[in-house]
Structure 1
Amino acid sequence: MNPLRPLILAAAESPRLKRALTGIPITADIVRRFVAGETRAELIEVAQALLDSGRMVSVDFLGENTTDRSQADATVAEYLSLINDLAALNRSALPGIDAPPVEVSVKLSALGQALPDDGPATATENLRILCTKAAQADVWVTVDAEDHTTTDATLATVRELRGEFPWLGAVLQAYLRRTEADCRELSGPGSRIRLCKGAYREPHDVAFQRAYEVTESYLRCLDALMLGDGYPMVATHDPEPIADAEDRAAESDRGPDRFEYQMLYGVRDAEQSRLAGEGRAVRVYVPYGSQWYGYLTRRLAERPANLTFFLRALVSKS
């Protein structure tokens, strides 16, 4: 595992470093590689370009750990407007792929999960509002994963709302020791699971720490999803899991309409285009908004190449 990862994740939790980095004018240029912009108008321009390239999109309005009800309400309002704007995009169906080209990703902590007065219930009701709107607009919704302390509450909400919205997606993180079992439980008919490696700083007793352990867990979880009855969403940039997903899909008689690849905006764009050009379903995770600091630091921690890019840009601009 990248030896700088613990330091970078610690930086993600440092208000002092956040103030320092967000106050540097050149930081904005670097952020734009990984974040579509701070406004919905900027996001929509990026999303349309990706759709025109034969890729699909999953849009995240950045924000998390909301402890103010008015802020949670504002997040719901932004997502409702976002769903309207995404529904209005030119989003022609991709040949051989039935999945809706547009999706929103949402963190339950942004919808009020951490509010002091029954936060999980508030987040569940807010998510229900978004899903109702999304169903009318033919837009998918996937619930993002956060740190392990929220996993039980998040999955409880997903289970509850799947009765009304069976297409509701959930994100599982392969570095958590529990995730293989969660994959088996949640991969039933009609389910959608986005499998990623994981991006938070977690203790050893709940998460694998070594890179090879995380990769091995990812492949076991991928097996469980491919053998299940749901729709796996393979969220990775690593060549081994990408190739393995293709092999496992063939072994389980899955055509390109029964699973998809997902990658981050600004990471391995050429590989995204290659897969899409070969007729694979590729969805790009596109974040926007002013609350980009935590997201960016987690992206830097995930991939040393991202950190190298960031540091090179700082040096070249200084």
Structure 2
Amino acid sequence: MTKRIALVVYPGFQMISLAAMSVFEIANFGRDTPLYEVLTVSVDGGLVKDSAGISVATEVIGRSHYDTVLVAGATYVAPTEPDLVDALKRLAPRVRRIGSICSGAFVLADAGLLQGRRATTHWGQASALQRQHPDVVVEDDRIYVNDGAVWTSAGMTAGIDLALALVEADYGGEIARETSRLLVVHYRRTGGQSQFSTLSTLEPSSDRVRTALAYAREHLREPLSVEQLAAHVHWSARHFSREFTLQTGLTPAKAIEKLRLEAAQALVEAGEASIARVAAVTGFGDEERMRRAFVRTLGKPPQALVREARERMRA
């Protein structure tokens, strides 16, 4: 049976929210019977302008029956219009799932739909969400959060990860992976994954140090000694080590460990249960070395994350 997905928009919404709806559209590709029907809805219907002044055609919210309703985010958060709050309150009990993209979490919270629930939003707006709605358990460093029938995503492109997770929940991992390949995006990041990556947080000023970090991430299986990284960017090992530490605040060894830990955590949370395989793929070499890194940084061993991943998949 085709599932009807509605995206709720309102004046000033962020156009990138529509990218999440493309996931459901592409999931239909090449199928005799579509998996999803995609609708864009608003309180009054008709044309609705986004934050850049581009108009999108919509139908009146509630005119059709929906399986899932997602609320778009906005560039600037403002109090939700009372008519939209009322429409969502009426609609929520009649849909299987309801969720938000980016700051759309504020809309759900204003409608009372996040009360007592775990939720996330763009990292830059998480503290405001928690301050305005202390009854919401805001997890400010998650790609998306699923709490029962309510799903919320972090900012911008995290809506794509949320949509792929919904496709997987509906039709399984293979269809979700097939959809991500057609979209030419990496298979979805897990909900527990951080909104921040090691490469984005280090932010070195030198192109050579950035090049070395990018090279390291693509060659985690290798030893990645200071000499190897320095040779790749045509610096002496001594100069490379000094500049790397000065620009990133970490020694090369510590930065490589962060990259390996990030990659290992992503694999475990995506369902890879073999700790030995994860240790080999990410360059830790042996399970004990990886276990120590997990405990030191995350406060728990990789086996604990494997159990958590299994519990999420059974939920």
Q: TM (normalized to structure 2)?
A: 0.29
Determine which structure has more spread, i.e. the larger CA radius of gyration.
2
Q: Which has the higher contact order (CA 8 A, sep 6+)?
A: 1
